[in-house]
Structure 1
Amino acid sequence: MEKDQRRHRIAPLKTNVPRRMALEVHSHLRRLIISGQIRTGTILSQAELARDLEVSRTPIREAMRMLQEEGLLEISPNQRARVMSIDAEALESLYCRRVLLECLAVRLTVPIMSSDDRKRLRAALDALCTDSCRSNLRNFIQRNSHLHDMMVRHAGQNLIREIRAARETSELYLSLIYASQGKDWWKRPELEHIEIVAAYEAGQSDLAAVRAGQHLAQTAFELLQNFAPDYEPVRLREALKLIGSNTNASAVKD
């Protein structure tokens, strides 16, 4: 195993429900991947995981298949598994989906928010704008997810379910932003979150949707600039036009 692909030993998995073992393993590994504790590009061995988690290979194999279906693992014909690395087109497609779905959900949510909804949204923002989130990616991901849930809470369960699935997959990339931008990585998203919530509080659904779309797209632009600088995100630019954004997306070349 190459040096940059090494991982720390994973703690044993504690479960008292053998018939749910594959689901437990899947959930555990998924959290480790999304939080960045298992980094992109890491090679995962069924034998090593079985030893670390103290389970048999059968639930490991099923859990890895589930992770592959979610796009978090790449498995070759010889069963060599690698945690997903940056695929520029796949990343762009994911964020196009997020931009379009979440902007629709924002437009549906803002007009029918109650005063209590707006207070809860402000509380979610305040919880995110703290030193514990600025210095700990895991805390940031958890609080960020809650804030985005609040932003789309009246969009309907089916749409919310699609949005959450896309967001959870994109959370894998946040560890790359964190690693590539140093200690001040949180400043840009924090400022954008403040602007988005201000639009909610003013009841400006169109502005809130545009700000939310720009916020999501900017994360993708930064990732592409760092990890695929020659890739031109034409589809994402078109998605921004559809939501009424005239942003120039200065994070990437024109």
Structure 2
Amino acid sequence: MTQQNVLEGLPRPIFTSPRTTSMELHAHLRRLIIDSALPPGAVLKQAELARTFAVSRTPMREAFRMLQEEGLIEADLNQRARVKGLDATELDQLYAARISLESLGCRLSTGFLTADESRLARECLRSMEQAHMAQDMTAWMDSHRRFHGLCMARVTEPLRRTIDSFAERSERYLRLFQLWHHQSFEVRQQEHEQILAAVEGNDPSVAGSLMAKHLSRTALTVMQDVSTEAEAMAIQVSLAMAVGSRARQK
């Protein structure tokens, strides 16, 4: 795919302040990659993107650096980058980390949500349903991110930052799940409701197990889409630890 073809029809970012240009560029490009508007393998050149978006090379270089740190692009010394392909091993390990950490976060928070946190989590569930009906996946992702955070409300820094980092890096695969398995929304919404009810209850093991199983279903489904030969060993081990069962032996 040529650079010209990649750039044709791309939406332009909206900048609010010169001081935040690099952050807004990063967020815009990140969304284009996650939504597959910039597909795997697409070649991105800093100079041409800077001209297209009417910005200087400095904020574009910083945006590329952040995208590379997130594992979304592979960059070279010639200021050219390529959108990374889908990687079953990366998906396996990202979600294994999320399963371990978010199930822990739910366990730590079970029985300790405030009334306001419960109310906000249920508002997120309603917002997710409305966004799904409107086919506004950006709004759905925002509400989904807040919902998961509220189910782990008692998690503090630096663990919170670590969990958020893994969740952000796995958003690309979550978005593909939505695109490829749109019909599964109701089942996933029910799982979210069950997780919240468990966190509002008094059995941490139930809450942790529900979160672990919820995350593993998403990951295993997308992994099969990406590679039918992938074995998901990291996910299996992490899930077994989270729910207290024995991992399948190879």
Query: Is the TM value for this pair above 0.5?
Result: yes
Taking the TM superposition and a 5 Å limit, the aligned residue runs for 1:202-221 are 202-221=201-220
Listed one character per residue, the Cα deviations across residues 50-79 of structure 1 (whole Å, up to 9, x for unaligned) are 122101223212221221112111124554
| 1:11 alignment counterpart | 12
- Are the structure 2 counterparts of residues 58 and 118 from structure 1 closer, same or farther at C-alpha, using a change threshold of 3 Å? closer
Partner Cα distance (1:117, 1:62) in 2: 36
Deviation at 1:240, TM superposition (A): 0.6
| 2:148 alignment counterpart | 148
| 1:195 alignment counterpart | 194
List runs of 5+ in structure 1 lacking aligned partners.
none
| 1:176 alignment counterpart | 176
The one-letter amino acid paired with 1:48 is E
- Are the structure 2 counterparts of residues 190 and 113 from structure 1 closer, same or farther at C-alpha, using a change threshold of 3 Å? same
Is the 2:109–2:199 Cα contact (8 Å) retained in structure 1?
Answer: no
Partner Cα distance (2:185, 2:164) in 1: 21
Is the 1:176–1:223 Cα contact (8 Å) retained in structure 2?
Answer: yes
Is the 1:214–1:245 Cα contact (8 Å) retained in structure 2?
Answer: no
Taking the TM superposition and a 5 Å limit, the aligned residue runs for 1:70-89 are 70-76=70-76, 78-89=78-89
Q: Give the TM-score, by structure 2 length.
A: 0.86
| 2:185 alignment counterpart | 186
The one-letter amino acid paired with 2:212 is G
Listed one character per residue, the Cα deviations across residues 97-150 of structure 1 (whole Å, up to 9, x for unaligned) are 1111111111111132233332332232232233x2242221211111110011
Is the 1:96–1:236 Cα contact (8 Å) retained in structure 2?
Answer: yes
List runs of 5+ in structure 2 lacking aligned partners.
none
Partner Cα distance (1:20, 1:197) in 2: 35
- Are the structure 2 counterparts of residues 73 and 222 from structure 1 closer, same or farther at C-alpha, using a change threshold of 3 Å? same
- Are the structure 2 counterparts of residues 36 and 152 from structure 1 closer, same or farther at C-alpha, using a change threshold of 3 Å? farther
The one-letter amino acid paired with 1:111 is G
Give secondary structure in 1 for the equivalent of 2:38. Answer: coil
- Are the structure 2 counterparts of residues 12 and 206 from structure 1 closer, same or farther at C-alpha, using a change threshold of 3 Å? closer
Deviation at 1:221, TM superposition (A): 0.3
**1:102 equivalenced with 2:97 (yes/no):** no
Is the 1:177–1:185 Cα contact (8 Å) retained in structure 2?
Answer: no
Is the 1:214–1:247 Cα contact (8 Å) retained in structure 2?
Answer: no
Partner Cα distance (1:23, 1:121) in 2: 28
- Are the structure 2 counterparts of residues 91 and 191 from structure 1 closer, same or farther at C-alpha, using a change threshold of 3 Å? same
Identity of aligned residues (%): 33
Partner Cα distance (1:170, 1:118) in 2: 25
Taking the TM superposition and a 5 Å limit, the aligned residue runs for 1:1-254 are 1=1, 6-7=6-7, 8-17=9-18, 20-76=20-76, 78-130=78-130, 132-134=131-133, 135-181=135-181, 183-244=182-243, 246=245
Partner Cα distance (1:222, 1:248) in 2: 18
The one-letter amino acid paired with 1:154 is R
Partner Cα distance (1:116, 1:15) in 2: 32
Give secondary structure in 1 for the equivalent of 2:193. Answer: helix
| Bigger Cα displacement from structure 2, 54-63 vs 203-212 | 54-63
Is the 1:100–1:213 Cα contact (8 Å) retained in structure 2?
Answer: yes
Give secondary structure in 1 for the equivalent of 2:243. Answer: coil
What is the alpha-carbon root mean square deviation over aligned residues?
Answer: 2.6
